[in-house]
Each structure stands twice: as C-alpha cells, then as structure tokens.
Structure 1
Amino acid sequence: MEKVLITGSNGLLGKYLVQLYSQQKEIRCIACSRGANRLKQTEGYVYEPVDFTSEEAFQTLVRKHRPQVIIHAGAMTQADDCERNKEACWNTNVTATEQIVKIANEVGAFLVFLSTDFVFDGLSGPYREEDLVNPVNYYGASKVAAERVVMQTAKNWAIVRTVLVYGLADDPKRGNIITWVRDNLRSGKNIKVVTDQWRTPTYAGDLAEACRLIAGKRAGGIFHISGEEMLTPFEMAQQVAKYYSLDAGLMIPVDADSFTQPAMRPAKTGFIIEKAKAVLGYQPISFNEGIRLLEQL
C-alpha cells in the first residue's frame, strides 16, 4: 500500500488533499500539521502533530512511516506577514524545505512542492512554466529560493505553482473571496474591491486533484495549476453577487494602491495550463461552478 504524507494538513489545500486521499483505498494517508488536528473529518487517515520546521521531529515522522510520496503543502503564505517577519518566512519556506528534501531523498520519496504565482513580477501574465521568475515581495522571493532548493537537491520532485486558491476551510475564521463578498453584501455593507489586479483563481479541490495526479504519475518538473479564467477581484465579486442575487451596487471599484499593504502584489499573474492538461489530463472548473460547489459544501 502506497503511503502519502501531507504537510500543512490543517490548511485549506491540506484539508482537500486529506479528503481526496482518504477516499483512496489503495493509499495510506498520513497528515501532519502543527498542534492538534483541526479538520472536521477524522476518519480515513492518520494524523501526526508535527511541526515540519523542526528537522529532528519531521525526520522522525518520515522514518517512522517511510512514505513513497511527500506533498509539502505547508508554508507561510500571507505576503504581508512574510514582509513583516522575514526571518520566520525564510525559516518556514526555505530552511524547512531544505530539511524536507534531505529526508525525502533518504527514504526515496517523490516530493511534490507547492509554490505560487508570486514568483513572477506580474508584468507579462499569464505565465507558462518556463517563464523567468522575478518576485516583487519577500514571500515570492522565499518561494523562488525554495524552488531552487528542490530543483537542485531533490532526487525525485515536482513543483506545483498555483494562483489565488479558494475553497471552504474547516476553520470558520478563514474566509475566502466568495464568502467575504457574499456575507458583506447580505449584511448591506459597502465593500471596496480591486479592479487592477488579474488572476486565474483556483478551486482547492482542483489543486488537490492535480497534486494527486502528479504524485500518481510521478510526473516530474514544474506544473502551473489554476483555473482558466483571467479575472480581477472585482469581476469575481460581480459573479458572486449575481449568483446570490445580491446588490452589486454595494461594491466600490478601487485601484490596488488605495490599500496600504507591506508587501507589493504583482499586477497580472495567472497561468497558462496547457502542460497540465496535456500531461495530467487536468481540467479545472469555472469560477461560477466553484461558487456553486462552495454553496453545497
């Protein structure tokens, strides 16, 4: 029976990965995250409370289970937090990745490393896998450094870059653009929504399935995984308002520079996903379908 170890299982992607793998009878899923298990689902997998930034603790975990696949979904991902605390960002995103690569090599595991569209500067999106990276904030820089660690030192690896992941987290404090727009408009509140940034938003279930396909096929190299539609946050919000028949007039279109944020954001990223379609058979849902799916969950 193949064993798959998932880091960051309490996170959004981690939740969807655990859901997906726990349904695979031929897979033994090992989930790990810092502290207690915060997933509502408790069946179908093993949970280990391990901080992946602790080299000794993580090595002990990997040697105990000896997984054939490690999906490294854990990271410090909030760009502003990374800008404010660069040391913590580097330790979590780069140093820990070096340690994970080392133990993955030792046990012969195929490593799937999660990365981001923020490795690009946003001047010429949407991007292909071979386009040159040029981050504009520290989070993106840390992910570029971690990608290089994986490419240069891992024996068997894939890098999965993704864009603006949305889904339903088990933690009620963690919202997403869909629930944020819906809940504010339902309350009759005005919201400011950005019109000059472009992304290809990614449903977390699609991203999890892409990771499963990559791991199952041992498909090495870099993969761009996202939705296909290039949308601004304002256009996303318009779709949410229309779906729920809410007053779109409450939404105020604004430029990104009207917000004061520690970290710069790339203006136009988004991905060209032809490689994922050809190699994996990846086919993402539309953003409107994503809204409908979140309503059902």
Structure 2
Amino acid sequence: MPAPPPTVIIGAKGFIGSALWQAYHQRSPLHRGTTRTGDGDALLAYDLVQTPPDHLDQLGDTVREAVLMAAISRVNVCENDPEGSHRVNVTGIERCVRWLWQRGIRPIFISTDYVFDGRKGNYREDDPTHPITAYGRQKRAAEEAVLAITGGAATVLRLSKIYAAVAGDGSLLDEMVATLARGQSIRAAVDQIFCPLYIGDLISVIQTLQTSGVTGIVHVCGDQPISRHQLAQQVTARFGADPGLVEPISLDDLQAGPVRPKNTSMCNTFLRRFYHAPFTPATTIVDQLAATYRAHS
C-alpha cells in the first residue's frame, strides 16, 4: 500500500484514534498525533475547546493531512449535555478545521451512521440525513461545516460499528465473546441493523482513500447488513456455545438512554470503487478472541 502523506491524528487516544495513531506512528515518524493531555514528544496536547488552534503550529510544516477523530462520542453524554458536547463536536471541530485549511492541511473528518434516522437502512452518501439523537445532529452539523470550509475538498467518513480483536476492550465482538466465556446470555436486538467493520480494515481504508485523493462523503462499513441478534447467533455458533444463550430483544426494550436509530446500515458501493481488498470476516476475530479467553480461563 502506498504511504499516506504526513498526517496528524487529532484525537489519538480513544478506541479508534489510538489504533490509528499506532498504525501511522509505526509506519513513519512524520505522522503526528494529539490528545487532550499530550504525551511528551510523541503526542501534542490539544483540546478542541480549550486550546487555541495556533498551538498546532508545534506540528511543524511537514503535515499535509489531518484525521479528525476527537469527539464526545457517547450518545448518552451528548443527549444529557447538548451544549457542552456541541462545543466539542461542532464548534471545536469547525475552529480546528479552519486553522488546518488555512495552513494547507487537508482534513479527513470521522463521522457516523447516526446522521440517519434508521427507518429504512441501506443508506447511500446522497441520501437525506435526519438524525434523531443529539450526537447525530452534531455530527451532521460538523460534516456540513467541514465541507463548507474546504469547498468540498475535505473527506468525510461515515463509520458503522467498528470492532477489534483485543480481549477486554469492550468492542462489539469482544463484548459478546466475553459474555459467552462467562457462561452468560447475550441480549441482542433483532431490529438493530448495521454493517460492522474490523478496525484493521478501517485503517487500511483510510490510508487507501488518502493516497487515492478521494474527497466528499464516503460510507466506510462492511459489505453486508446484519442485525445485532444475527451477529450474536454467529458468534455463539463459532464459539461453540449453547444457541439458547442468545436472547432476542428489541431496541425498544432498552429503557435507559435516548432513543437510537434502528437500521443504520449503509451502502459502501462508492468506497468499493477505491478499496478492493476483502474485509476480515467476523468469524476470524471471534476465533482469536475465543482462544484468548479460553487460554485465561
């Protein structure tokens, strides 16, 4: 794979951001990263709300692109504090992007399938957005700001559910395998439908899109929609556990937290024009996780 241009990861600490940072930093020291608190010379301290954008001058003049991962991504937090989360997810992003663009650094903004209301699924990039959560509304507003500031030259990546192969990280498949390893049942919604993707594939996709010069909105997700219940059934079968451990529920049965979109599956046809490699099967990751949990049981 061709090397992406020198890139800064804005928000290199979260689940996806830290994995992205590690992959880029291992590839070249020209890639940089930021977190709210920093980490010596490796990661620059930068807070979307509190830190003046010109603090990023410390990155030097080699950086050519920026992946904006920093966000308040917990849906409940955004719902309970819409003003505070808006300052981060919209105002802070807009301010950062203006600084980047003025200095010739092209932004790649990480968005979400929550910009859709989840009523029909199989969303394409040009489908109307209609978010029903504060988080989704903030991401839509940030998308619009990023594209407006750059005159459409930025890239906006709408992600589906992302999972990893690290035992104990609490991501989608790990949560299911860990539950089965404890002999407990999985409550899985039959009406929550998405197109999950392995984080290693996501990193490869981002690098490919960078080197391909793709701009505008791109749906980055797995090839096929699947419900959380169907996925839980596959995981249970692969793990060799009792199928009865999968308990079908509806998202409506979950009383806590805001109403969430149900069918946020997206069509990745546009992405597949540029990225042709097969995606990692979920069963491969389940096998890795199962081996880890069994080794420590």
Unaligned runs of 5+ in 2: 293-297
Equivalenced residues, count: 287
The partner residue of 2:82 within 86, 94, 101 is: 86
Q: Which one of 29, 32, 39 corresponds to residue 31 of structure 2?
A: 29
The SS at the match of 2:88 is: helix
TM-superposed CA distance for 1:208, in Å, is: 1.6
Q: Is 1:184 aligned with 2:184? A: no
CA distance in structure 2 between the aligned counterparts of 1:295 and 1:189, rounded to whole angstroms: 15
Task: For 2:243 and 2:37, locate their aligned partners in 1 and report how far apart those are by CA, in whole Å.
Answer: 41
Q: CA deviation at 1:179?
A: 1.6
Do structure 1's residue 165 and structure 2's residue 168 form an aligned pair? no
Could you tell me which residue of structure 2 aligns to residue 262 of structure 1?
257
User: 1:293 Cα deviation (Å)?
Assistant: 5.4
Residue 138 of structure 1 contacts residue 263 of structure 1 at CA under 8 Å; is this kept in 2? no
The amino acid across from 1:253 in the alignment is: P
SS, match of residue 193 in structure 2: coil
Pairwise CA distance, 1:132:
0.7
Segments of structure 1 that go 5 or more residues without pairing to the other structure are none
The alpha-carbon distance between structure 1 residues 224 and 94, as it changes in their structure 2 partners (threshold 3 A), is: same
Query: Separation in 1 of the partners of 2:182 and 2:282?
Result: 23
Q: Aligned to 1:28, what secondary structure does the other structure show? A: coil
Following superposition, the deviation at residue 175 of structure 1 comes to: 0.5
- Per the TM alignment, residue 127 of structure 1 is displaced from its structure 2 partner at its CA by 0.9
| Deviation (angstroms), 1:53 | 2.8
SS in structure 1 at match of 2:274 = helix
Partners in 1 of 2:25 and 2:130 — Cα distance?
Answer: 37
Change beyond 3 A, Cα 1:276–1:127: same
Query: 2:295 matched to which residue of 1?
Result: none
Is 1:70 equivalent to 2:73 in the alignment? no
In the alignment, which residue of structure 2 is the partner of 1:16?
Answer: 19
Percent identical: 25
When residues 47 and 205 of structure 1 are mapped into structure 2, their CA distance, relative to the original with a 3 A threshold, is same
The aligned amino acid for 1:242 is: A
Tell me the CA shift for residue 295 of structure 1. 5.9
Superposed structure 1 runs of 4+ greater than 6 Å apart: none
Structure 2 residue identity aligned to 1:91: R
Q: State the one-letter code of the partner of 1:250.
A: L
Please give the residue correspondences for 1:1-297 in structure 2 after superposition, counting only pairs within 5 Å. Answer: 2-25=5-28, 28-35=30-37, 37=39, 46-56=42-52, 58-62=53-57, 64-66=59-61, 67-155=63-151, 156-168=153-165, 172=168, 174-281=169-276, 283-292=278-287
AA aligned opposite 1:109: I
SS at match of 2:226: coil
Q: C-alpha offsets along residues 20-47 of structure 1, whole Å, 9 cap, x if unaligned?
A: 223434x61111112255xxxx9xx932
Distance 2:193 2:211 in 1: 32
